[in-house]
Structure 1
Amino acid sequence: MSVLLLVRHGQASFGKRNYDALSDRGHEQARVLGAALAARGVAPTRIVTGGMQRHAETAEGILAGLAGIGSEGPEVVVDDGWDEFNFDHVIGVHKPLYRSKALMFADFARTPAAERRARFQALFEEATARWTGGEADQDYEESFPAFAQRVDDALRRTAADAEGTVLVVSSGGPIALAASNLLAGDASLWAQLNRVAVNTAVTKLVTGRSGITLSSFNEHSHLEHDRSLLTYR
């Protein structure tokens, strides 16, 4: 039996031109998670990351926290199958004006600051509902079924190579999809699970003769000592 710990990346730079870089809070979330794992004696045999900057930076922070277990650190492997879908493209298909980030930022700048995140969340959910609806797959560079297959392939590869505890650093979309498939047998829970995904939350999967089983989803007790570390984007 092996354990896969699927970790959502730390807080990215929402509203900045390079969203993919972690914020200062995101770096801290990653270090806190690594330290929490070390305190529990969790020693991953391998870290698998998606190919995005926010995945790599989260893994670096976790490794810094894990240094407390006194090991040299696990092997780090990159698997692009764990990458997030291109939400800029999905939003741009839904609202062509926003294919220009400059225009999107300018539009959102006219919204009161306290309302911007809620407005973006509403836009995100409208755009992804169209993407997952199945009626316009040809409009996307990666359709939702193609995304689902990519993530499933990545999960199967990771599980097949797993020994001991493997930590996977990915994004909310792939993790929610894996959890939905294991809970419901399909992607029907994806939107609900993706909506509540916490930065650096841990989803635990167990692999064995019976296949892959979901043990827990979105566990984030390592952040509860400091509410400022609890973020969703």
Structure 2
Amino acid sequence: MACGFDYDGEMRRYQPRLREALAVGPDDVVLDIGCGSGTTTREVARLATRGSAVGVDVSPERLAVARRDAPANASFVRADAQVHPFPPARFTLAFSRYGTMFFADPAAAFANIGRAVRPGARFVQLVWQGSARQEWVTEIRRALADGAPVAGDESAFSLGDPAVVTELLTTAGFIGVGVTDLSEPIWYGPDPDAAVEAVLPLRLTRDVLDQLAGADRERAFDRLRAVMAAHHTADGVWFGSRSWLVTARGGGG
């Protein structure tokens, strides 16, 4: 998603579920993986009053935003969590809000994170379930392709199978893996026009639009606006979604 996308607004219904699962304590030392513009990092830092929080992300633009108004115990590092040399057994809590699905080598990434957390440390992730379970995916693809089947990028859904996630984490040395089914609507803007603009940076949108030109492209935009209008409520444009809340504990030591 583009840097200007209101990711926090989109995920507003999931944030309380994540906050509850994290249960940040005052002494926690926290790692936020794929922190983006840093909202989640700053929130946990304010809860870890005697501890600290580190947010890592690969986007310098997002990290520049993240550093604004950050509390003194929050820091940000431009890094790929798959390979970054974190201090061993440093963190009491590691988490990610939709940031672990894009690792080129997830087995290596989770092993690296496993080395960075202390024995018994909590590891919490929110990841998307499969694309077929996401109304936002199926509706946008249907609109843009006029109902025709679309073979889109599936990287955002790479952890959609609980068995795959469990095996990856267990192999990486984590213990007590749990996977909880969550379903919440996600928000794409206050009105249909804003929602269209919001989804244009998404890869699932670009994959189709980049193949169209002229009248075909304009008709696709018209269908996309119509879908947004159909999902418009008094509180903005909402689509159904399904996620997994994945929890585990560090098994080292």
Aligning the two structures, in what range does the TM-score lie when normalised by the shorter sequence? 0.3 to 0.5
> Larger strand proportion, structure 1 or 2?
2
Q: Please say which structure displays the higher CA radius of gyration.
A: 2
Compare relative contact order (CA 8 Å, sep 6+) and give the higher one, 1 or 2.
Answer: 1
Scaled by the length of structure 2, what TM-score is found?
A: 0.32
> Larger helix proportion, structure 1 or 2?
1
